[in-house]
Structure 1
Amino acid sequence: MNRDAHLNELGEFLRARRAELSPRTVGLPDSGTPRRVPGLRREEVAQLAAISTDFYTRLEQGRIQASAPVLAALARVLHLNDDQRDYLFGLAGKDRKRSRRRMLQKVQPQLQRLLDDLTATPAIVMGRRMDILAWNALAAALVTDFGRIPEKHRNYVRLVFTDPAMRTLYSDWETVARTCAAQLRMEAAKYPDDPRLTALVGELSVQDPQFRQWWAAHDVATLSVGTKMLHHPVAGDLTLDWDTLTASTDPDQQLVIWTAEVGTPTHDGLRILASWAADHPMAASDST
């Protein structure tokens, strides 16, 4: 993505966030009269950010760049959360490291050893663009047999949107899928020149109208923590907490684990699944 494309994306992001706010939300008087378009007007955003309306208009049109202080003011006015603020600054090229040539990612040996030791806890390692770099046997039993997916297609977002089984596995598939699209957009801000990521977005936009709609919403999120509810054909209904650990040797690799409190039906379900997986082996990943 070149400089102009980045500026256009920044403008679209600002417009999307502006449309989500009402005058009352930001402390402005609401006349009660209908507005031609939803959200705040450009002049209202400019007023609250202490910049000229002309400057803000050109910023939304992708015609100019903004300084870090202006971006900080806009983030405050638009009530951006931490993820959205990071995304905004990333698009503007502020506080970002110079991009360097990226080699093909392989799971870090330390993470692979940890995966091999996690026999009672489903876990995977995700890399750039949410590619699945490695997994253990219980993760394969819980989600899908990752080893059967060609390596170039072994991507979590792609799996969620293109595998029909994911729509029945996740009890609230729409929330999971929408979050995936938001996390992928954060990846796009980090790696705007990644041709594989661009191709993935294009593929999913053509194949799935919901992905296309959610991608256009410009929502962003990071891979951190949460809870997922699954309806598994073997283990039954599961409520799993998930968390991520970032590899210090490669910050672009994150270990994602699913756990359940001891004594809960979900914990018992994982034990049943582990026993089933022992009788129906699916290969864990191998870094060798």
Structure 2
Amino acid sequence: MDTTRTAEFERERGRLQRLAYRMLGSISEAEDVVQDAWLRWTRAGAEVVDPAAWLVRVTTRLCLDRLRAAKAERAAYKGPWLPEPLIEPMVEDPVERAEDVSVAFLLALERLSPLERAVFLLREAFDEDYAAIAQALGRSEPAVRQLAARAKAHVREGRPRFAVDRAQAERLAIAFLTASSSGDASALSAMLAQDAVLVSDGGGKRVAALRVLAGSDDIIHFFQSVAWRNGPAMARTKGCRLARINGLPGVVLELDDGPQTIALELDDEGRISAIYIVRNPEKLGHVAAG
């Protein structure tokens, strides 16, 4: 493999990683897919005219293969499923655009068929034209347009509409962590939207809520119960740092039983409309509280 071809691949690596993560909802699997794409690239001949298009096509098909193979595993997943958390520093300009990696957006993608997901991402997130997408997926252009329209209708409501600046994000994350740790009903009530939801993913590997909690009263009772059973969470915390998690304000914790991430989504009034907690250790191998 000469340096020119290596450089061609490296120019596309970040884009391929972003595509694979959005397709699979897993950082580790995305890295594996990109590595597989690299191995195929090393075996590809000089007949590849457009390296970028070729690599996108290979990466997409590798992701589709994984999604189809994992269908039964996803169906048997214990409790709510969340994507592996994508963690960035709490900065004003995150590397990943919040609307493209938010948990709500990735959950909306999860409800699509693998082909719909591929078409939607290639068209909406990576600005590929329909002819290129049809070639990548081995489908006709009219079929691809139909898949795109159907997927867009399903995903339209999945993107976050309200950006949070760094200072507001830090204040919110600290206030929420303090209130939830102690089960402070008054403080939690003040910051939660009435119709807020809490999704906690333990994957059957660690204790977590086995259903989506709906409504502020249900969520407050949950945190009160946890504090009553285990004591304040902060007393059990070995490490903690603020971070953007899938573009949302959040915290990364190191607890007695392992790491945990919490991401917070806001409504137009600045109240917390959704809480996403990942506790499944299989999704947290890349996480350190610091």
Larger Rg: 1
TM-score, shorter chain, exceeding 0.5? no
Please report the TM-score for the alignment, with normalisation by the length of structure 1. Answer: 0.25
Which structure shows the bigger proportion of residues in helix conformation?
2
